[in-house]
Structure 1
């Protein structure tokens, strides 16, 4: 009826967790690499910081590796059903934790650079979507 293919729809619903985890991997990897491959470039290009302190470069590279580790876990979990729900919970915690921290900073420290405002929006949207996908049946 109306050309609706229930088999295809059922297949897509079963794979939404897998596809979302692949999306999360693809989304976080470029951000991670931008932070850590050249912290000076990232800071000057996106944050308006001309001279990056060694300690901040250290933090950005550590964040890069944290993001890479989570991204690789999400990719691994996309292809290993036993890890999909735990991985989805880490996406919820990752994006939710980041958005809370960014909002605290926004209200305590003031408005950051536009790219960081973009991150707030993306994380604010992705956290509940990840939670919704987590709650879907297998």
Structure 2
């Protein structure tokens, strides 16, 4: 099971890093290429770069945890919270705002897969061992 956790966390790292870099290296390129937004202001660029670093920070924690077994279960919980929070927000946005660009629909699918995958990979005794 530990090997599965390790590989899942490595996969989570490699899944989130390109998304993070896409958001933050050139926010205007990302917005025009994938979202159909011609121009973004400094505030949106600021938000996208902050999101990039949040994603990179979590991704690095997942990669670290993949190679440090005591951190694997907490890392799986952060994958669940991260992906679960994103997918809930995206679903709310779809219901309230309408259907977004295809890349954002792809992210919804990816996040829907990550939550149950991370949940099934964690140790069942994890929550009782934390007390």
The TM-score bracket by the shorter chain reads over 0.9
Aligned to 1:4: none
* TM, length-normalised to structure 2: 0.92
Structure 1: 5+ residue stretches without partners: 1-12
Aligned to 2:129: none
Report SS of the residue matched to 1:125: helix
CA separation in 1, counterparts of 2:15 and 2:125?
A: 24
Aligned to 1:99: 87
Deviations 1:94-128 (CA, angstroms, capped at 9, x unpaired): 11110000000000111111100111111011111
CA separation in 2, counterparts of 1:48 and 1:103?
A: 20
Deviations 1:5-27 (CA, angstroms, capped at 9, x unpaired): xxxxxxxx330011100000011
Q: How does 1:1-138 map to 2 (within 5 A)?
A: 13-135=1-123
Q: RMSD across aligned C-alpha pairs, in angstroms?
A: 1.3
CA separation in 1, counterparts of 2:29 and 2:22?
A: 8
- Give the ranges of 4+ consecutive aligned residues of structure 1 lying more than 3 Å apart after TM superposition: 135-138
Shift of 1:137: 7.5
CA separation in 2, counterparts of 1:38 and 1:136?
A: 41
How many residues align? The count is 126
Report SS of the residue matched to 2:122: helix
CA separation in 1, counterparts of 2:81 and 2:123?
A: 14
Structure 2: 5+ residue stretches without partners: 127-131
CA separation in 1, counterparts of 2:83 and 2:8?
A: 14
**Larger C-alpha radius of gyration, 1 or 2?**
1
